[in-house]
Copies of this chain bind each other. A is one copy, B any other.
Amino acid sequence: MNTEIKHIAVLGAGLVGTLLSIYLKKRGYNVDLFEKRDDMRLSSSDSGRSINLALSRRGIKALKDIDVLDEVEEIMLPMKGRMMHSLDGNLTFQPYGKEGQYINSVSRANLNKILLNRAEKSGVEIHFGHSCKTVDIEETKVTFESPNGKEKTLEFDLVLGADGAFSKLRQAMMKSDRFNYNQYYIPHGYKELTIPPTEDGEFAIEPNALHIWPRGQYMLIALPNLDKSFTCTLFFPFEGQPSFESLQTPQQVLHFFKNTFPDSLPHLKNIQQEYFENPTSSLVTIKCEPWVKNNCVLIGDAAHAIVPFYGQGMNAGFEDCFELNVLLDKYEDDWEKVLEDYQNLRKSDGDAIADLALHNFVEMRDLVADDKFLIQKKIEAKLHDLYPEKWMPLYSMVTFSDLRYSEACEIGMKQQRIMDEVMQQPDVLENWENLNLEQIVNKLDQ
């Protein structure tokens, strides 16, 4: 590769691309950031992507690193646990971690605007309305269609594709030989709905939680917004009974919500309109390899698109940037060494969080309403309290620690095998508070 890197193109001014540009500009590179959309700060048009996101430790770490956390904190809404809504309207609260550990609801648009302002201020050249048509991976050249409709081809020392799940850079890599690629759509889609603030201008339901209506094969969730509304997301099969396909009329939709999510219905003020006007979107997992070809590099969703059920999509992308910056420090900007390590380290972590996210859908929509599962969570919380260094629940390792995703996944599987045994004891549901916890924790060393 050309190791004399001065001029870098970043594709995609979404969250990851913009954060990455700030990192690189800070290191003294000449950074051009290209975005096919218009400047979101000037328009209120819908980006077609999810409205709010869960920001947690890995993402926060990177935001702090580029000194933008103070500003972001003003738009963060803490969610301290899951609030489960049962069919008969009972609420059960399950904390995400220990006292003081929480995840944060943030608006994608607001966070992106903060990052764009910071990037611009720090000297990143941002080019909106530049649609990447193709990338010449051999020559590190990118062809854009610019706002005037003309095509232009620009050459860089390095191209970083942060252009999301449908990355043009990845499409170009796919045309080269020996590129491994997997895209998998789950049978469920999602649709966003709104719980507006009450007439008094207050949150209609508990604001400091992520609300879940788990219903086995599908679920509704709700995350709070700064304006005291909630964005609800229905994760629901595309086909079958019931499904997006099977709910065709406003009457069917109302009937279904009344029977399935009864306590949500009084709050979903515009459901009949929103259900039919808002899009139904699909959910894809993408894995590929290699992430680096010549002087072209994939990062964030472009390298590892994941389903949203662990709330780690943005956090994983931000951590890619954080770790890339750590490697640039370590190797004093010797990109050949940096990129070799970057791919080796982050590929296995990307695969791990992709699998964890798929698995967590089952947990969220089904297991969180299961007594046995909830008791297992309580036992694990107790183990973590008593042996904080030895036993950390998988959710905490992923969400509240800096452990590599791949390590968290491996330890989590070992813990699950141990807990499977524990939960098979005949009287565990009644006597779980009397378990010999030291014996359980010691199994980790066996």
Contacts and interface: CB of A to CB of B under 8 A. Distances in A.
Interface of A: 177-185, 238, 282
A204 B177 CA distance: 35
Contacts of A180: 183-185
A180 B181 CA distance: 11
16 contacts: A177-B185, A177-B282, A178-B185, A178-B238, A178-B282, A179-B183, A179-B185, A180-B183, A180-B184, A180-B185, A181-B181, A181-B182, A181-B183, A182-B182, A182-B183, A182-B184
A183 B176 CA distance: 12
A281 to B, nearest CB: 9
Classify the interface of chain A: helix, strand, loop or mixed: strand
A285 to B, nearest CB: 10
Contacts of A177: 185, 282
A225 B185 CA distance: 45
A184 B183 CA distance: 12
Contacts of A185: 177-180
Contacts of A238: 178
A238 B178 CA distance: 10
A176 to B, nearest CB: 10
Contacts of A178: 185, 238, 282
A180 B185 CA distance: 6
A426 B185 CA distance: 48
A183 B180 CA distance: 6
Contacts of A182: 181-184
A386 to B, nearest CB: 42
A54 to B, nearest CB: 25
Given A177-B282, A182-B183, 11 more contacts: A177-B185, A178-B185, A178-B238, A178-B282, A179-B183, A179-B185, A180-B183, A180-B184, A180-B185, A181-B181, A182-B184
A108 to B, nearest CB: 21
Contacts of A183: 179-182
Contacts of A282: 177-178
A5 B45 CA distance: 44
Nearest to A288: B183
A282 B178 CA distance: 7
A426 B151 CA distance: 72
Across the A-B interface, give the 6 residue pairs with the lowest CB-CB distance, nearest first. A182-B182, A178-B185, A181-B183, A178-B282, A177-B282, A180-B184
Contacts of A179: 183, 185
Nearest to A185: B178
A172 B185 CA distance: 17
A177 B181 CA distance: 17
A191 to B, nearest CB: 14
